[in-house]
Amino acid sequence: MKANANEIARALDAANGPVRFFLLYGPDEAGSAALARRLERAMGQEAERIDLDGSTLKADPARLVDEAASISLFGGRRWIRIQPAGDEIASAVASLLDADVAGNPVVALAGALKPSSPLVKLALDHKLALAHPSYVPDARDAAQIAETLAREAGLRLPRDLGRTLAISCSNDRSIMAQEIEKLALYLDAAPDRPAEATAEALEAIGASNPDGELSKLVDAIMGGQPGRVGAEIARLGQSGIAGIPVLRALFRRLILLAALRRDIDGGQSPAAAVEARGKAIFFKEKPAITDQASRWPADRLAALADKLLAAERALKSSGTAGDILAEAEMLTISRFAARRR
């Protein structure tokens, strides 16, 4: 069955309800992950979590039924998380939904799926399943999400700062969560010792800068500094930032450079085109972006957009192999930019 935001939240919070299978899918993978954590909280800290992935269940569809019917080795509650997941688990899920016994709830995080997906159709059509698509929030919703995340971390985030943070993170829930975690550490805030978030604190941790920590890697790639790319990827990886957020930060820079390139091709100088954007471009980034706008012609930017979209698709479908391909693409882009110095 299809569930809206309130319905899926209530069902996940119930944990012991009649629903056997939760399908969380859609382009906002961070939103799906946040929903899955609701089930985790509802099951309790002592519950045993069984982690499976799509390839495992494709090879052994019967395993899901077995895991869902099994009793925890520790005598407590038990639940199953499938990630990554896609249409390859449809057969296993069909068996789960038709089984006589399945006492442990199952949640699958599937990413973007088409409406014609067999897995989506199965979850929508069965009374023991719930399907909910998560979409990237708009500006208003993203600001509210930022305020909620901040409150959970022990931060009082004024509404205007919530909007600033959401804009600087391009409404990406996972990046907002990382920036709020840094802000809480900076202000020594926690739920039992709340603190007031300020514009000065946001500036200090770099959260008022669009793409924050990602900007150094984006500049190394688009500015033609291939020697820095590997080091920046490693640095971000230590903070848990990798893969799709990086590619999307690159894509956002691409959109900005394409807009600047139109102004430059229309007769403006690169510096004038950047200055005309005012506060839309973070002041510390203006020199680098001016250089990049000079370096990248419009036709190359268009071709690069296709490459980034292909890299994101590969990352979603290939796991670790996709990471390697994406990093190789970043180096290729940076080397091309270096040749245009």
Which of 110, 133, 156 represents a domain boundary (last residue)? 133
Same domain membership, residue 219 and residue 317: yes
Q: For position 262, which CATH number holds?
A: 1.20.272.10
201 & 220 share domain: no
Predicted confidence (pLDDT) per residue in 205-263, tens digit? 765 555 556 888 999 999 999 999 988 888 877 766 777 778 878 888 888 898 899 99
Residue at a domain's end among 133, 161, 188? 133
Considering only the C-alpha atoms of the chain, give the largest distance between any 2 of them, rounded to a whole number of Å: 72
Domain match, 220 and 184 both: no
pLDDT at residue 319 tops 60: no
In this structure, are residues 220 and 228 in contact, taking their beta carbons and an 8 Å threshold? yes
**Are residues 149 and 129 part of one domain?**
no
> Do 327 and 224 share a domain, yes or no?
yes
Q: Which residues pair with 124 in a beta bridge?
A: none
Same-domain check for residues 173 and 220 = no
pLDDT at 215: 83
Contact (CB, 8 A) for 119 and 125: no
Q: Is the pLDDT of residue 36 over 80?
A: yes
- DSSP 8-class letter at 72: P
Return the closest-CA partner of residue 246 out of 149, 186, 185, 325: 325
For 148-205, how does the pLDDT look when each residue is reduced to its tens digit (9 = 90+)? 899 999 999 988 888 888 877 767 787 788 788 888 998 999 999 999 998 888 877 7
For residue 239, the tally of other CB atoms under 10 A from its CB is 11
Q: How many CB atoms lie within 10 A of CB 187?
A: 20
Domain extent for 15: 5-133
Last residue of a domain, one of 185, 205, 225: 205
Average pLDDT, whole number, for the chain? 86
Helical (H) or strand (E) element with 67? helix 62-69
Structure tokens of 53?
């992935």
Does 119 share its domain with 220?
Answer: no
Same domain? For 95 and 164 the reply is no
CATH number at residue 60: 3.40.50.300
Q: Indicate if 63 and 106 belong to the same structural domain.
A: yes
Domain count along the chain: 3
Token digits of residue 9: 């939240």
Whether the upstream peptide bond of residue 84 has omega within 30° of 0, thus cis, is: yes
Question: Minimal CA–CA distance to 157: which of 130, 127, 187, 126?
Answer: 187
Share of the chain above pLDDT 90, in %: 39
The CATH number of the domain holding residue 200 is 1.10.8
Residues 6+ apart with CB under 8 A from 199: 161, 164, 208
Do 183 and 221 share a domain, yes or no? no
112 plus 223 within the same structural domain? no
pTM comes to: 0.59
Residues 287 and 313 in one domain: yes
